[in-house]
Amino acid sequence: MILTYVMLGIFGLIFGSFLNVVIYRLPKNESIVLPGSHCTSCGKPIPYYDNIPILSFILLKGKCRSCQASFSFQYPLIEAVTALLMIAVFWKYGYSVQTIIHIALILFLIPISMIDIRTGLILNKLTIPGFVAGVVLILVLQPERWKEIPIGALSGGLLLFLLAVLGKVFFKRESVGMGDVKLLVLIGAYLGFPDVIIAFYLGVLLSFLYIIFGFSVNKIKLGDTFPFGPFIAIGTIVYILWGEQIIIWFSRLINL
């Protein structure tokens, strides 16, 4: 058991390191395989011993060995978050196909969210492979759940599509983008119905909290826009880890 946690932690750091490459290069249409890691300031290749997740960042104090340019704190952060989420999913679901399916979903949600934050775009290059991976994983690991794939994907996509149309009609501008619709189709394929809807509402709730907090510290002004995808992704992760408890708590609340 402890060994599994350690292995997942190590794999999580390695996956996270790869996700950093995806986050940085995919929006620029660069290959995610070649060339190997290199410093974006001086262009020097980063040797394997300086490319160890988190450890190298600490040892080199976040700087390039050649030119001393600072590396973004995003790199160790994404590595740590990826590892911690993989461990958390195993802690929740143990040795089960659920663990594999949920980790796969999270490994797509992380780069989709980060690219949405950095560029405001949700890339088909991630949502389409993510959707295909989900369908394949569920058909192979949980074939009895096959019906949930189209129902989850359609209900998630339709809900957000309606919101996008309503947003356009009422606010005269794009408040929910087609990228968000595709993201919810992806999540729906993995989670099924009604889970995808609950995950979405958790995301909406988190975005409200963010807006209220942002207003109260004067970081957000009226008319500001911000990417919605990361909130849907965090809502989904919260649902994966604490969904049952939230449903129990909420049904008690209504019954009061």
Q: Which residues bind Zn ion (CB under 5 A)?
A: 39, 41-42, 64, 66-67, 69
Q: Is 47 left (phi over 0), alpha (psi -120 to 50) or beta?
A: beta
Residue 76 structure tokens: 């160790």
Find the shortest distance in angstroms from Cβ 35 to Zn ion: 14
Closer CB to Zn ion, 61 or 173, in the complex:
61
Closer CB to Zn ion, 67 or 128, in the complex:
67
For residue 163, give the nearest of 150, 182, 189, 181 by alpha carbon: 181
Find the shortest distance in angstroms from Cβ 37 to Zn ion: 11
Residue 229 burial (CB < 10 Å; 0-12/13-18/19+)? buried
Find the shortest distance in angstroms from Cβ 44 to Zn ion: 5
70 phi and psi, to 5 degrees?
A: -80, 140
Closer CB to Zn ion, 46 or 141, in the complex:
46
Find the shortest distance in angstroms from Cβ 213 to Zn ion: 37
Nearby residues of 210 by Cβ (< 8 Å), 6 or more positions away: 226, 231
Closer CB to Zn ion, 61 or 221, in the complex:
61
